[in-house]
Amino acid sequence: MKTVRVPEVNVDRLVERLTKLAKRAVKLEVAPPTWTVSEPFVADSGEKNEKTGEPVLRRYCTVEVTGEAPRFAGWRLAAVLTSLGDGNIIRAVPGEEIPATFRTAPIVCDHCHLVRNRAETFVVAHDDGTFKQVGRSCLRDFLGHKNPESLASAAELLFSIDALCEEAAGWGSEGAWTAVAELGKFLAMVACLIRRNGWMSRGEARDRSKSATADDAFHCLFPNTYLRRAWQCNPELEPKPTDADAAEAAKAVDWAAALGEDVNDFLWNVRAVARFGFVGYKEAGVAAAIMNAYRRAVGDDLKRRIAADSKHFGTEGVREVFELTLTGVHSIEGQFGVTNIHRFLTPDGNTAVWFASGGKTLGTVGEKVKVKATVKRHETRNGAAETVLTRVKEEA
């Protein structure tokens, strides 16, 4: 039996190749290989992130392949020996341990004992632990098999299975798109990018020929050479999540993982990604949406607490200190860049809004903040009194 850890992206290709080998085995009239594939899991790839030096995680499956060597009267094929003069190349059937004496054994046949110029000989093993070296032409007499070429081909089949599994472990396993990020780190980067550039879904990005927030976040965690050089030339271009971004990401993960089963398909996908705890490129779109879904859920919960008789507060044109709770942040992209629209709630249930230009942001959804701000104007929105703030600055 051969057990190998294979990158998930390679599993379908490996199974396709194994299926072809199984068909060959049927034609050779030998037992075809069988295999099982485990559920995906995340593991250290052994590589290092060039930007952070941290281990690169990837998603893998464990593939177990079983192939039986031809067996006759207690004997089975164990290896093929090829002479190189001073020593032999030993190609052992997977799972067989060949005695070290065969490394330098002369290429002779233990059955006919004739000295011939043989290109290769076969090592056969008995159930009692005995090993013999047999020439190709003697395989029929020694094992009692009608077709020695079939036996040799069966051995080659087993060697092919072994080589195929080893190769599958490395097929296309490099590259950022096959890497896996911890969900908390990924969402912290998403929060950072939303704060800087606003939110862009993959669907909207396709329609507008732009880059989606999910893709940008993934590439920022696993930057290519071009991106790293751009950051070196201008460090201000590199997105760097803050402690607040990381804290909100952790809350978002906990919220998503705690969702029940009675949810729509989108939230079910969000729940599944959150409980898995890691995100690959395929899941990045759903994973990134966790942040918006969390903010919307927390904001909606807070909005439900707003009293129907919300009143204006403060004096227009006067700068004062207020204690507020952030109920939501919505980003819009305009002619002069990104504006983050913050909505607040006072302890008395009054609502306020702040249009923060230049990608500025304040706090995380659900957080209580103490700010110094100027009341720009009092207005009515959807039938409720709302106070518009400007020049908002957090107070210690």
Chain segment 98-134, per-residue pLDDT in tens = 888 888 888 888 888 876 777 778 888 888 889 988 8
Q: Considering the chain, what is the average pLDDT of its residues?
A: 82
DSSP secondary structure of 74-99 = TEEEEEEEEE-SSSEEEEEPTT----
The encoded tokens of residue 35 equal 């295999």
Q: What is the mean pLDDT of residues 238-267?
A: 90
pTM score over 0.95: no
Confidence of residue 324 (pLDDT cuts 50, 70, 90): very high
Q: CATH assignment of 319-394, given 1.20.1300.10, 2.60.40.10, 3.90.600.10, 2.40.50.110? A: 2.40.50.110
Say whether pLDDT at 44 is over 90.
no
Closest CA to 328 of 310, 347, 349, 352: 352
pLDDT of residue 305: 59
pLDDT tier at 301, thresholds 50, 70, 90: low
* pLDDT recorded at residue 322: 94
Say yes or no to pLDDT of 252 above 90: yes
Rounding to the nearest 10 degrees, give the CA dihedral for residues 98, 103, 108, 110: -30
According to the model, what pLDDT value does residue 10 have? 83
Q: So what's the pLDDT on residue 319?
A: 94
Dihedral pair phi/psi, residue 172, rounded to 5°:
50, 30
Q: Domain residues of the chain, as ranges?
A: 2-69+167-174, 71-143, 182-303, 319-394
**Amino acid found at 60:** Y
